[in-house]
Structure 1
Amino acid sequence: MLDYARERYAARGVDLDAAVAAMDAFPVSIHCWQGDDVSGFESDGGELGGGLAVTGNYPGRARNADELRSDLEAALRVIPGQHRLNLHAIYAETGTKPVGRDRLSAEHFSRWIDWACSQRIGLDFNPSYFAHPLAASGMTLAHADTSVRRFWIDHGIVCRRIAAAMGAATGTPCITNVWVPDGMKDTPVDRKGPRERLADSLDAIFAETLDPAHQLDAVECKLFGIGAESYTVGSHEFYLGYAASRGKLLCLDTGHFHPTEVVSDKLSAVLQWIPEVLLHVSRGVRWDSDHVVTLSDELRAIACELVRGGYGERVHIGLDFFDATIHRVAAWAIGVRATQKALLAALLEPITELRNAESTGDYTARLALLEDHKTLPLGVAWDHYCELKGVPRDGDWLVEVQRYEHEVTSQRD
């Protein structure tokens, strides 16, 4: 089968083995919050809020950091390649003494850093601007109260320092991604003021110069959220302008736009003006519902844009979903493997033939080639990649997760 697949792709001018080898250039940042339903480890944490909601009650949720790390290791055993872990500030390990979010330090993430080094994976980081009494109003960095705003600015400042320590320890830059839920349920009179305050707050957070070899900054836009249906301070237009003017990464989440908008079309547009993009891959169903990522047409289109544009070094891929209706380790495996399959399919595209057809105006050939590519033996190439990386192929990996569920997660109260 493998030789047959090689021949089929070679007939289109594609080297299957070269495409498989190129997969190592696309690590995926795996989000920790799928493993515990965005609960975190704060003893004084409040309801999620900020438009966030987790549905389902599948048994076996990770209840502490050790269980969460164990579950992540189980997922990594069935996911090919070397990847990253994306942490939120609410996953700090502060012992028996609560620590305010504005006073967190790298010390409170030392076990995460040690674990990442032992797993040989990089880390990414996020300030947590939700599930807190000072976020209950729906405003944080854009809050009209100076003292509230100061608390969240300080939270952002310490998070950047934590990320820098993570990057220094792991030897790869840690991306600090700033997303805030700030907005209003009904139509505001003053749209300008909150955006001015948000810009000032961001400038204060980013004022300290940190080594880009250790830490990078990203800002994340959103169309709307529950409780912020009529006005979102940090809209796409706001953050695109901010990122372009400040030289920051722009985070594009595939669930943060109108259902008729697609991120695949935005990548080449925004990358004309900003240095790098953080891509959060999710699957919104009617709204930003954060379903487990599947191998959809849009996911394949995004992967094609990354490969065709040569954006591998400028686009950082991470996942963002939380589904508590299915086994959480399986959700990670399904989402990451789907993302990787989309990337492999893009790397196996007959790009030379496609570009030649398009440049000569032969759109008939372009369409025919794109359609024919869909039925080429991607699955054989994928199985080969899994075998090379020493992880189970499709049809086998679920058995490993089910064994872990039987032995580990099903034993949790």
Structure 2
Amino acid sequence: MDRGVREAFALARERYAELGVDVDSALDRLASISVSLHCWQGDDVVGFEGGTGAIGGGLAVTGSYPGRARTADELRADLDQALGLIPGSHRLNLHASYAETGGTRVERDALLPEHFSRWMDWARERKVGLDFNPTFFAHRLAEDGMTLAHPDPAVRRFWVDHGIACRRIGAAFGEATGTPCVTNVWIPDGSKDTPVDRKGPRERLTESLDAIFAGPIDPALNRDAVEGKLFGIGAEAYTVGSYEYYLAYAVSRGILLCLDAGHYHPTEVLSDKLSAVMGFLGEALLHVSRGVRWDSDHVVTLSDELDAIAQELVRGDYLGRVRLGLDFFDASINRVAAWVIGCRNLLKAMLRALLEPIDRLREMEASGDLTGRLALLEEAKLLPSGAVWDYHCQERGVPAGIAWLDAIRAYEREVLSTRSGAGT
């Protein structure tokens, strides 16, 4: 280990100890946190079905940085590169459209675990957990903006069968990796302009979801989750699966609620919602993203809101009940670097929260010393968490500071630049 990093860490540990913070305990807890990296950052949500590449469903990727993964092998290689630069043991979140079918067209309602066998082999070899998502977009039966809430029973049946197939695949993931897969349902259903009937689509959605989740699956293999959104492109006026809808559905059905940091009104924050919902949920899933104006899926930065999310998870003792994943897609920068930046930032925020002098802060708050609480909260912002982070990285065998970027630059020169035509 670099001597300077070690010496800086020793000084930082002393400084935190003065405030009653056990740095070694914080690092042990940080090492236990797994983040689910999303496969779709690596290829701009194109997948491997051999379609036109258009996403639709209220989603859009901008940019044409060279080096997009064009095959599953390329995507796995990119993930290996990213995971090798992130401290800790993490997971992979797959979409159904990333099935490998050997060049044969397989409809989404007919997908089987065997179509993801190479992903399971990859995960087993690396001891990586797998999560999953049905793909309710970029399909001829989703072109009118409705899937599980579609007025046509035949269309709804297709998407219900797709959801059922995905739960079975999720269970196979759980069995293959020895850790439960979270299979998360998000749909694009909605209306560009104001509908007359808001009730009907939501009644149909409930019927469809109940049909998908009807078959019992061992929770040791698969956990079900549902994810809402404020609006999407083409669904600006009405989103069937809103946050309020899915909160009620998740609580009433006893399944996971997925909260995405970019899926709310710009004046709302995810951090404030955690303590509001966790008293009624057994578990939850967080998609950590960064909303900018109308667009919800920017690379995660070490922002005030990211710090607030991490603080709520630690202060509320929710770490054992909340699963963490990333969800953004940016084709304007190096895609592998985007994974590394986003995941390292989430882990940095978690470390800063774990290093907070929470016992002293709680004592001040309980005694009514709000002046002291504010003063300590502000002073804590300049405590040497960066020295602890660098030590953690080197202890886990990954570069500290910005040194990881050298590996990304080399990978871009040697691998990404050879992918002819992969920028778009």
TM superposition score normalised by structure 1: 0.99
The number of aligned residues is 413
| 1:284 partner SS | strand
> AA paired with 1:65?
A
CA contact (8 A) 1:80 1:390 kept: yes
TM superposition score normalised by structure 2: 0.97
CA contact (8 A) 2:46 2:53 kept: no
| Residue from 244, 261, 268 that aligns with 2:251 | 244
| Residue from 13, 25, 42 that aligns with 2:32 | 25
Q: Match for residue 261 of structure 1?
A: 268
Q: Match for residue 309 of structure 2?
A: 302
| 1:396 partner SS | helix
| 2:290 partner SS | coil
Measure how far apart 1:274 and its partner are.
1.3
| Residue from 315, 318, 323 that aligns with 1:316 | 323
Q: Match for residue 83 of structure 1?
A: 90
Q: Match for residue 216 of structure 2?
A: 209
Distance 2:207 2:295 in 1: 27
Task: Report Cα offsets for 1:110-150 as digits up to 9, x if no partner.
Answer: 00000001111100000000000000000000000000000
Q: Does 1:397 align with 2:391?
A: no
Q: Match for residue 102 of structure 1?
A: 109
| Residue from 165, 168, 172 that aligns with 2:175 | 168
Task: Report Cα offsets for 1:13-50 as digits up to 9, x if no partner.
Answer: 00112111111221000000000000000023562111
Q: What is the correspondence of 1:95-174 to structure 2 with a 5 Å cutoff?
A: 95-174=102-181
| 2:88 partner SS | coil
| 2:292 partner SS | coil
> AA paired with 2:279?
Q
With 22-31 and 39-48 compared, the bigger mean Cα shift is at 39-48
Q: Match for residue 5 of structure 2?
A: none
Q: Does 1:326 align with 2:333?
A: yes
Distance 1:71 1:46 in 2: 20
CA contact (8 A) 1:46 1:132 kept: no
What is the aligned-residue identity percentage?
68
| Residue from 11, 21, 24 that aligns with 2:18 | 11
Measure how far apart 1:80 and its partner are.
0.3
> AA paired with 1:329?
V
Q: Does 1:218 align with 2:232?
A: no
Distance 1:230 1:131 in 2: 21
Q: Match for residue 234 of structure 2?
A: 227
Q: Does 1:34 align with 2:41?
A: yes
> AA paired with 2:56?
G
RMSD: 0.7
Q: What is the correspondence of 1:353-372 to structure 2 with a 5 Å cutoff?
A: 353-372=360-379
Distance 2:418 2:162 in 1: 36
CA contact (8 A) 1:47 1:132 kept: no
> AA paired with 1:400?
A
Distance 1:319 1:288 in 2: 15
Q: What is the correspondence of 1:67-78 to structure 2 with a 5 Å cutoff?
A: 67-78=74-85
> AA paired with 2:108?
R
| 1:329 partner SS | helix
| 1:289 partner SS | strand
- Structure 1 unpaired stretches of 5+: none
- Segments of 4+ moved more than 6 angstroms: none
